Each structure stands twice: as C-alpha cells, then as structure tokens.
C-alpha cells in the first residue's frame, strides 16, 4: 500500500506548472496505484518515497474538490474553526515557505498536535528553518517544538502568544470506534483554506506494524496534522497520509496521541531523540518478525520464508509460458513500517523476495549464465547503492559459499551505517543457490534502520528458512 504524506511542499508547485511532468506524475501514480490495487507490483514499490508521495499529492490537487458537508459537518466545522491552525515551515534566511501542514489545539495554553513530517525540517535543521502558525482568523505567531513521535508520525508543539484558547477533546478510550461510523477530517488542503471532509471509519489497516485508522474519505496535501473527529467533535485520530488509492486514507489513532501527550518533556526534541525512537522501532519490528519461526511457503520445489501473514504483504509473479525455454516464479514480501525522517530519507522497513528458476532445456552452462545475469540486474539496478549519502555510508560487503539447511548458496551480506543515527544500519543479504544444474533459487532481503545484531538475526533466519523439498 502506498503511503502519501499530506503535508504540502510549495516547491512542488513548480513541477505542477510543467504539463509534461504532470502527465508523467499522473502516469506514475496511476501505475503505482493500479499495481497496488491489483497486487501485481512487488512490495518494494508499495513504500512510496516521499517525493513520489508528494507528487501524488500534487496530482490529487487537480481534483481537490471535497464532497459537500452534511449538516453535522457544518456544525463540526463551525465549532472547530478556532481550534485549527496551519503550521508553516519557513526558511530562516528569507522566511520563504518551505512546507505547510495542519494542526489542532488540545489545551488552552496553545499546546497543539500535528504530524512529525510537517515539522521534520525544524527537528533536523533548526539552524535553517523555523515554524509559525496561522489561525483561521489570520492571526499568526511563532511555534515551539515540545516533542515528537517519529514512529507514529506525531509531533506536539506550543503556539506562542496563545492563552485560554478553545481546544479539542480526545474521544475516551473506553468508547471505541465502530466500523462504518461517520468520521470527519479537518485541515488546510493545498494551502487553499481550512476545510472539512466527511468519511467513514473502516477499522484499522490490516498488515501494518502499528495500528492505523483506515479512513474512507478525502484527504489532501496540506491536511497532514489535522484532526479526525467523530460526530460529537471529539478527536479520534490525526490525519497522516494518503495511500494513492481513491478515498482510502490513513489517520493515526488517538492511542498514540495520548502516549505522546503523556511523555515527559525532559528530553530535547532533536536528532538524538529520533535515533532513540528508531532503535525502539527496529527492536519492535524485528521482535515482531521473529516472534516465531518465519512462516514458509512453497516456491517450485523449494520452500522459502514469507513472513507472518498478519504483518507482511506478499505478492507472487510467474512468467511460465509454453514457448519459453525457462520458467520462473517469484514471491516478494514487505512490511508496511516505513518511517519518514525527511523528504529524502525514510527508514525502518523490511522487504524480501525469492525467485525460483528452472530451465532444463538450457543446460547447466546457459542456466548458470541466466542466474548470474539475474543477480547482476538486481545488483546494478541502483548505482546509488554504492555511494555514500548524507544519511548512509557506502555499503561494505562480504561473500562466500554457504551451506544452509539443505541448500548451498553463493551469498553476500552488505551493510551501510546510518551517519546521523548511531548504532543503526541498513543491511542486505543476497543469495543464489549453487547446487542444482538447471534450477535455482535466488533470494534477497533488505532491512533498513536496524541494529547490527538484530539485522544479523533476521538475515540468518531468512537464509535458514530456505530449503529444497524435492
């Protein structure tokens, strides 16, 4: 499932001005969306990079008309007007608007909730960016960052110069939402002005590491950080992301909001806090994956790890055609756990794939060549993998013949260290079987933002799970 963040980056407007680029983005989003819908795309494509997400958001802008609100919606909007704010991230040098999102007051002293991704630049580069709020009546002021939860994409801020303000109340935990219940989302879509969107609560999204509300209603860029309300005007969640699908959008449940509010404010909300939260996330993720032996699935005569069906989404593909000299089948799985750090860096994900190939008619020599080229294509598909970036070192690798559980592999492990977040790594294992003449199994796993020990645990469990059954 794609995840499209809903903060609004005015830079993207420049790209919207180009018709050819717009067509390209429309085609891209449509392709990704369709692929996700019809389950024909590997899960790696489902973790939309922020740029693509923002692009999708820009495309949605072309169809930004929200459904007309019901009388309940009108009532809620009237009551909410003074409790909503637009959060703007500005450059310190020129006070140019870098991005905008929404927020909502939760206490009379100006304490306000929004998304982490709305204010991420303030956390990562406070020397270059500052934030201000704009209320419905046009009043504006400075914003102070109190804390954030990068795992659930939440942030808590204080609006300077606010006292005795009207604010939202949270829906009580003892009163859970029921599927089909009408809910409303508020925010400032596309920097056009505050708006309300009516929709339906459709339960929690399946196969996600953390609970996320499935909101069937319109969300648009700029509404990130706005509140999700029930018919009584109580907060039930926070707008966070679109999925690229029509009216299928995501809210952060109020449970996590309560946890963030309850956190002590004795830790500076800076990069170190991000690192600490990423470490919690990776431990949660790996423990969830390895809570029990990795579930397996047959792939040709082999059996491979596919992961817990309640956590991971898997797709299959086959190119078996009668006129071909070969046949291949593949399975790709991914965990919907991507964490937004900034617009060019996400982490905290796991994805893997297995491909079984067979080609008796090719013979051993040509088959080994085919296997090799397949691995080469995988390895060189992204040369950026080799380059150190602002956030990651270049990879360091080792390789060997490995005798696993009934399968002999040629295997390599590659590791990149996170430059900004100590103790975290991106790791990859690639392995291809070398024990059968005209059939083979190739597997690869990518895990991002894990401790070295946890990464090794997962990589090893992954390799151990592969076996020949016939």
| C-beta atoms surrounding 456 within 10 Å | 16
Residue 389, interface with another protein (CB under 8 A)? Answer: yes
Query: Which range touches another protein (CB under 8 A), out of 77-85, 106-114, 245-253, 400-408?
Result: 400-408
**Cα-flanking dihedrals φ and ψ of residue 460, to 5°?**
-70, -45
Q: DSSP strand E in 210-362: where?
A: 213-216, 227-229, 235-242, 248-253, 296-299, 302-305, 312-318, 327-335, 339-342, 345-347, 350-358
Residue 376, interface with another protein (CB under 8 A)? Answer: yes
- 107, 173, 195 from 254: Cα distances, Å: 15, 8, 21
Residue 92, interface with another protein (CB under 8 A)? Answer: no
Residue 468, interface with another protein (CB under 8 A)? Answer: no
Nearer to another protein, 236 or 241 (CB): 241
* Side-chain half-sphere CA neighbours of 126 within 13 A: 8
Which one among 417, 441, 450, 458 touches another protein, defined by CB under 8 A? 417
Q: Which of residues 128-167 bind another protein (CB under 8 A)?
A: 128
SS3 content of the chain, % helix, strand, coil (to 5): 30, 35, 35
d(CA 92, CA 67): 38
Which one among 194, 201, 215, 326 touches another protein, defined by CB under 8 A? 326
Which one among 359, 441, 445, 458 touches another protein, defined by CB under 8 A? 359
Query: Which range touches another protein (CB under 8 A), out of 120-128, 169-177, 215-223, 262-270?
Result: 120-128
Residue 272, interface with another protein (CB under 8 A)? Answer: no
Alpha-helical segments (H) within 190-348: 254-262, 271-289
- 2, 11, 43, 154, 223 from 132: Cα distances, Å: 30, 18, 37, 17, 16
Query: Which range touches another protein (CB under 8 A), out of 39-47, 59-67, 213-221, 359-367?
Result: 359-367
Q: DSSP strand E in 82-208: where?
A: 84-91, 97-105, 111-114, 129-135, 140-149, 154-159, 182-187, 195-204
Nearer to another protein, 255 or 372 (CB): 372
Q: Is 439 left (phi over 0), alpha (psi -120 to 50) or beta?
A: beta
**Cα-flanking dihedrals φ and ψ of residue 319, to 5°?**
-120, 25
Q: How many residues make contact with another protein (CB under 8 A)? A: 78
Which one among 46, 102, 114, 121 touches another protein, defined by CB under 8 A? 121
Residue 118, interface with another protein (CB under 8 A)? Answer: no
Query: Which range touches another protein (CB under 8 A), out of 142-150, 186-194, 239-247, 384-392?
Result: 384-392
Q: Is 193 left (phi over 0), alpha (psi -120 to 50) or beta?
A: left
Which one among 48, 61, 155, 463 touches another protein, defined by CB under 8 A? 463
Residue 97, interface with another protein (CB under 8 A)? Answer: no
Which one among 161, 180, 388, 406 touches another protein, defined by CB under 8 A? 388
Nearer to another protein, 80 or 415 (CB): 415
Binding characters for another protein, 327-356, by CB under 8 A (x = yes): ---------------xxxx-----------
Torsion over CA: 150, 43, 50, 103 (sign)? negative
Smallest gap, in angstroms, from Cβ of residue 125 to another protein?
7
Residue 399, interface with another protein (CB under 8 A)? Answer: yes
Binding characters for another protein, 15-54, by CB under 8 A (x = yes): -----------------------------------xx--x
Q: Reduced to 3 states, what is the DSSP secondary structure of residue 115?
A: coil
Binding characters for another protein, 49-88, by CB under 8 A (x = yes): -xx--x----------------------------------
């Amino acid at each position: 499932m794609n995840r499209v963040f809903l903060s609004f980056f005015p830079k993207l407007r420049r790209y919207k001005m180009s018709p050819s680029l717009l067509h390209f983005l429309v085609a891209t989003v449509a392709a990704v969306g369709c692929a996700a819908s019809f389950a024909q795309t590997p899960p790696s494509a489902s973790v939309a990079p922020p740029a693509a997400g923002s692009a999708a958001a820009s495309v949605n802008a072309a169809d930004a008309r929200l459904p007309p609100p019901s009388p309940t919606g009108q009532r809620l909007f009237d009551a909410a007007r003074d409790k909503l704010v637009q959060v703007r991230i500005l450059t310190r040098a020129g006070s140019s608007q870098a991005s905008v999102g929404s927020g909502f007051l939760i206490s009379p002293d100006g304490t306000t909730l929004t998304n982490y991704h709305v204010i991420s630049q303030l956390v990562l580069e406070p020397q270059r960016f500052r934030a201000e709020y704009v209320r419905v009546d046009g009043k504006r002021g400075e914003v102070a960052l109190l804390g954030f939860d990068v795992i659930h994409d939440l942030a808590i801020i204080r609006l300077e110069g606010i006292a005795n303000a009207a604010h939202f109340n949270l829906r009580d935990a003892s009163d859970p939402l029921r599927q089909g219940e009408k809910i409303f989302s508020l925010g400032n879509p596309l920097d056009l002005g505050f708006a309300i969107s009516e929709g339906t609560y459709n339960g929690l999204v399946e196969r996600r590491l953390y609970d996320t509300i499935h909101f069937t209603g319109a969300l648009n860029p700029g509404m990130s950080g706005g509140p999700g309300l029930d018919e009584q005007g109580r907060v039930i969640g926070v707008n966070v992301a679109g999925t690229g699908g029509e009216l299928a959008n995501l809210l952060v449940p109020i449970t996590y909001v309560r946890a963030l509010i309850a956190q002590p404010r004795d830790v500076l909300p800076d990069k170190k806090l991000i690192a600490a939260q990423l470490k919690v996330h990776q431990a949660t993720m790996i423990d969830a994956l390895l809570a029990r032996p990795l579930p397996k699935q047959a792939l040709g005569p082999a059996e491979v790890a596919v992961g817990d069906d309640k956590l991971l989404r898997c797709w299959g593909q086959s190119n078996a055609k009668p006129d071909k000299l070969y046949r291949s089948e593949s399975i790709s799985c991914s965990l919907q756990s991507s964490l937004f750090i900034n617009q060019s860096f996400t982490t905290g994900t796991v994805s893997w794939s297995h491909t079984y190939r067979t080609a008796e008619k090719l013979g051993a020599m040509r088959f080994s060549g085919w296997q090799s080229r397949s691995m080469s294509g995988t390895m060189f598909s992204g040369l950026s993998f080799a380059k150190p970036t602002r956030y990651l070192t270049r990879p360091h690798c080792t390789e060997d013949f490995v005798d696993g559980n009934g399968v002999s592999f040629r295997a390599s492990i590659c590791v990149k260290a996170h430059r900004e977040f100590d103790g975290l790594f991106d790791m990859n294992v690639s392995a291809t079987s070398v024990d059968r003449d005209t059939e083979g199994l190739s597997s690869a796993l990518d895990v991002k933002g894990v401790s070295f020990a946890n990464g090794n645990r997962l990589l090893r469990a992954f390799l151990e799970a592969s076996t020949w059954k016939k």
